[in-house]
Each structure stands twice: as C-alpha cells, then as structure tokens.
Copies of this chain bind each other. A is one copy, B any other.
Amino acid sequence: MEQARIVIIGAGFGGLYAARELGRSGKKVVLIDRTNYHLFQPLLYQVATGYLAPGDIATPIRSVLANLKSVSVIHDEVLDLDPGKSCITTRECTIEFDYLLLASGVTYSYFGNTEWSKHAPGLKTVQDAVQMRCRILGAFEAAERSADEKEQERLLTTVIIGGGPTGVELAGAVAELSRGTLKGEFRRIDPQKGRIFLVDSGERILSGFHPNTSAYAKKALEKLGVTVLTNTMVTDLGSEEVKIMRAGSLQVIPTGTILWAAGVQASALAKKLAERTGVTLDRSGRVEVEPNLSIKGYPNVFVLGDLASCKGANGELLPGVAPVAMQQGSYVAKVIVARIRGRDLPPFRYFDKGNMAVIGRGHAVAEYGRLRINGFSAWVAWAIIHIYFLIEFENKLIVFIHWAWNYMTNGRGSRLITKG
C-alpha cells in the first residue's frame, strides 16, 4: 500500500510544527508556502522599527526540514482547494492529498475600508515590515527637508491604530526610535518633539490582559511620550491625516505616518474552503473547527493556527498567537499518526502559556494565569522565551547577541529606506 500523502498549506508556526512532527514519524508530507522562509512574526515589529533585518527573523523552510527526508517543500502559491476531490491547485500544479492541513494564516482587515491600506500599512509579512520601516524613517527625512514648521510637525506625528500587543509594541519602539536612536542626527528638526498617538476603539489597550496590566502599560507608554487615546474610533484616514471620533466630537490629526495594528481577517483560502465544503466561517472569516481541529464532514481536513476559529476550555476563542498555532500543529500531526494506526485522540486542549507584550527596552507586561509581572523582570522573561524559540530552528544565537547589543545601546541594525 502506498503511504498516505499529507499536504500542509502554510509554513507558519502551525504548519511547520505539524510538518516536523509528521516528518519525524516518517510520514510523507508536502509543505507548500508562498515564501521560502518561516517568519518569526512576534519580532516583526522590530524589523518595522529598524532593530532587526528581515533575514534575522526568517529561516529558510528547507533548512529547518532538511533532515526529514519524507518531507518535501514547495515554494508556490495555493489558489484553490477541493476536499471533495481530495486535491489542491497551486499556480504551477495540482496535488492530491489523503490529509490536508490548512494553516495559511490571516492578513490585516481594514473593516471594509480597503483604500486605507495604502496609507496605513499593517504588519504580517516581511514586505509589510519593510514598508513600515520606510514610512517611519522616511517621515523624519521628509521633515528634515521641509522648511515649513507646520509641515514638519505633521510629518513628525505618528498615529498607530489598534491597542493590542502589536500596536503597543510599535508605539514603544517608535517612541524609542525618535527619543533615542535618532537623537542628534538631524539639523533642522528635533525628532524628540515628534508626537505618537496610540488609538483604540475599546475602553483600554491590551484588552486581552487584566485591567491592571492595561493601566500599567498605558502609564508606561505615556512615560515614553506616547499619547494613548482609548474609546476613540477612526472614522477616516488619508495620506496626511487621521479623522477620529472621541467623546462625541470629530477631530483631525495631521500625520506623516499611520500604522495599522487593528483587525485581522482570514486568508482567502478559508473562503474557498467554505464554498467547497459548506463549513461555517466566523465574523473574521476564520474557519469553525471540530474539537479535533478537523472540519465538519471532512475528518481528513484540518484547519489550524490563526485561521482556525477554535474555543478554549473556558469557551472563549483562542487568540491568534504563536503558542496556540504550535500546539495545534503538533496536535494535528499526532491525530493523523494515530488515525493511520486506526486510533483516535481526545479533543485539542490548549495549554495556556500566558500572554506578553513589550512596551520598550527593558520593559514589558506578562501574565501567566493569575500571576502578573510588569517591568524589567517581565521583559527578561519575554527575552528568554523569544530567544528560545528564535534559536530553535536554526543557530540564530549570534543574531540574538547582535540584537541584544543593539537593544541595550538603542542602536539599530537595519535602518534602510529602500522604497519611495
């Protein structure tokens, strides 16, 4: 009998962990990704703000899986999938599967205002991060060229939309860029005078954390010079301004840089899957999965990572973070291995590893169950965990030393403006 063929779409944390686990069991796996690298997304904001180069947080998928000879990697884009016919279609070919793992992730959502995307880049890909870096650094350059004080003021104003971990981390990093790294480098402008707004529609930033943590983060950001605007809706934005509704009144913030860290939506493949199988999508377009992460009516098709709409033990949706995707990847791999042996596994259970966000250098917030740590010790915990995962796939220890050095000195390793 020929070996079952397992096709995995997406080499994020979910897809990669599944591929590795299956490869170690000698299963025949085809892993397909649009890029040739696995991206360490949790540090993407550091690329966007010039601390790290894209290559520092991107590992070639092939090199991670080189020793697992039953795993093939294909650098290609999946255009369609048909669980009924057990095949997927890429740009270049059609591939049949016995098991399918869909882990193609999410992209930014502008809540229907797609034209906002060109003024307010999001942060999911290397291209996004490089574009953000060029916007942020380019605004300082444009301000230095300008002779008009009002124009300089506008260009030195950054608006970050979305007060989740990404928004908070961006706000902190931009503040440290303008207050620290760029200090003394300009002649006409003073980067330290730049204003930074962090806008969120909710009552508090970091709404996934405990209210005390949110309050702490707000205070810490304000100390760095960030103006935190909660209960504030963005009603419109363009190339030079953001319109907000706050306490019932409409305000306009003239700005040179708008960064988007608000909603996400599922990748287009989720829609295809729903069309083909009738599976339900949630409000963000994520796929509702069975307790074992397969989809209704197709026990050989699994959805995992950010793309899966999956409930935790307390009935709440699991967040779109790396630990969830990692655990789901390993879990699904085990389900398939067991299935091939004619057995079944109990439903997926997320082992909560806590929640973290960095505010600035040497400054973070962390929660682990009822334990809450803020400040330097939280940052140390954050750094240790991120180093551990960063060096897991490749010897990136020296990247880390490089990064730690820059981080301590507030130097930046990668400050290129390559576009525009």
Contacts and interface: CB of A to CB of B under 8 A. Distances in A.
Contact of A145 (B74, B415, B418): B74
Interface in A32-71: 35-37, 53-56, 58, 60, 62-63, 66-67, 69
A401 B399 contact: no
Contact of A402 (B58, B186, B187, B399): B399
Interface string A271-299: 00000000000000000000000000000
For the complex formed by this chain, how many copies does it contain in all?
Answer: 2
Interface residues of A, number: 50
Interface string A376-406: 0000000000000000001100110110010
A68 to B, nearest CB: 10
Contacts of A184: 66-67
A190 B411 CA distance: 42
Contact of A417 (B36, B66, B69): B36
Nearest to A412: B60
B144 A414 contact: no
Nearest to A413: B55
A73 B409 CA distance: 23
Interface in A295-313: none
A414 B398 CA distance: 13
B36 A126 contact: no
16 contacts: A36-B415, A54-B414, A55-B413, A56-B413, A56-B414, A60-B185, A73-B144, A73-B185, A74-B144, A75-B141, A75-B144, A126-B418, A395-B409, A395-B411, A398-B401, A401-B401
